Amino acid sequence: MPAIRLRSPVMFSSAFLLLAVAFMAYFDVTVRTDAAAAENRFHKLVELGAPRRAAKHGERAIALFLKEGVSENDVAPLKVAVAETQVSRRRHGRAAVLLKDALTADWGQNLPQAERIEYEDRLARAYLLGGELENAAAIYTTFLELAGDAAALPDDAMVGTYSKLRADKLRDASDAFLRVVNHAEARPLTGATPEHILASASQVADLGGFYGMREGDEYTAAGLLATAYEARKRIRGIDHQDTVQLTLMLGPLYTKMGRLDDAEALYLEAFHAQERAKGANSPDLSLYIKLLAGTYEKQERFTEAQALYEHMRRLFRDAFGALRYAANQDADRREYINRPVSKYFPLEKSYAPEDLVSASEFFVPTAKAPNIDEMKLRLAADPDSDAREENLPVRLAQLISLCRSESDENISLRSGYRSYAMQAILHERNGARGTVTPPGVSEHQTGLAADINVNGRFMRQSDRAFQCFEENAFRFGFILSYPPGNDYLPGENSFEPWHWRYVGIQTAQLYREAGPYNQPQEFLAALPCFQERAASGVFPTAGERDICLDGKPAKLASAPAAQPKRESPSAARILNDW
């Protein structure tokens, strides 16, 4: 009996072990052959915080369900869940396949909009983490287009829910893009054909333009734009306008990052490309001359910069005449088209232009009903000329027509005149975000400012139309009011590629030829000084501080007599537009 008692625990332990082994074998067979059991095991492991172990059970469950004839649509939710566990295993390519399958099924097509955006973002990130820049760019470019104006406005702007959601996803993806692109070395794009590569290059360029407008995302933008630039340069060639276009986006980023040698190389390539395309004597070269000369000045290569400036002046003298500038004889610039408008030069509350006209009457394409005030502009006719032929709206129509032809994009006037009362409403609605100027300091109140739409949303730096405006607007009397790096607006991102101000042809030419680069407000504030010196043939010297910017600009004349009070716009006329 004692021997039996001694053997009993051993026997029971062995029996228990055999039962456990048998159960484990049965469980293993079950989860390997039964789809529901495999799925249950997958979810249990996920709940226990073991996604890497869960992944193989999830994959097995998918395969078993499909083998049993379960539809792709019914398996889609499981594929999405398994994709997340594959990400934890760094199998990003497999995660992307699962997410794409789920989103292309009816299940994915019928998701609520917000959920679908979330899953599309996850798919794009899986592509990025897997090194598939081209596929990620295709998704995020769609986000960019569907975000519309939300992509150009601050993070906290009050815009459509889904537009803002897509814009937020784009902003959050900046770090993920940095894992794939390197600003110091362009990443080669791949594709089945050159056309596919160029399509990807366009998408990557659009995304680079988006990040280039955001403070803190310069490295992401530079990496994307350099990638697009090298692809276009390799396939289209250095002289193609699509290649040159990227110079205007990538060059300023390189300059901001301190990569002056790279900026110089870009501007040289662009200058010679445009020289071959437009002719060595074209004033259109002035933009690229000014960019290159400015880079030389930052490198303290003043002799080379001065040679370029003198070359540009020869081009302007040959094109526009030796006596192209006359000293400003107007003592009162309050009504003058060149008057500055800023916190230092505010407009009176009662100020309203007396020569407002409907832009559509002069064949300017409008984005809104042509009879509302916002679709009006000042006539601003040239003195001693035919007022119906030489004026602001005619020249805007001509500029838009030219750039529509060159870009093949739909360009229209988004916003023209705004009264003091309208600006006050927009500023109050905008709050502390800093993207709408306070009433009295908006150029829109003058009727001389035009916000431009491209394809139904704010003009972007990545639009071909923007390149055309940058190159040609001065010929028609327009300058860019809020260029990159300006501090005119209180908001963090104050670059507005859509906001163009009419100053007249002579003044716009002077700004291009002799004005401080990307300092339009400083130029307009000191305009009489610039005009007087230019009329005397005395232009700034490279490397020396321009004396016109040293002193305080002359104050404008005293306020005019009060004008009749204008009615406040009705609620129906208040436009959510900034």
Of the CA atoms within 13 Å of residue 403, those in its CB half-sphere come to 29
- The alpha carbon dihedral of 70, 71, 74, 77 has a sign of positive
Cβ atoms 387, 379 nearer than 8 A: yes
Active site residue 496: yes
Catalytic residue among 132, 496, 513, 522: 496
To 10 degrees, what angle do helices 72-88 and 113-129 make?
50
**3-state SS, residue 357:** strand
DSSP 20-60: HHHHHHHHHHHHHH-HHHHHHHHHHHHHTT-HHHHHHHHHH
Q: Measure the CA angle with vertex 552, ends 546 and 555; round to 5°.
A: 130
Of the CA atoms within 13 Å of residue 326, those in its CB half-sphere come to 4
**3-state SS, residue 358:** strand
State the DSSP code for 461: T
For residue 269 the two structure tokens come to: 């390539």
User: Of 549, 501, 509, whose CA–CA distance to 529 is shortest?
Assistant: 549
Cβ atoms 440, 346 nearer than 8 A: yes
Cβ atoms 201, 209 nearer than 8 A: no
- The alpha carbon dihedral of 451, 456, 458, 459 has a sign of negative
Residue that is written with structure tokens 């306020």 in the block: 559
Q: Which residues form the catalytic set?
A: 496
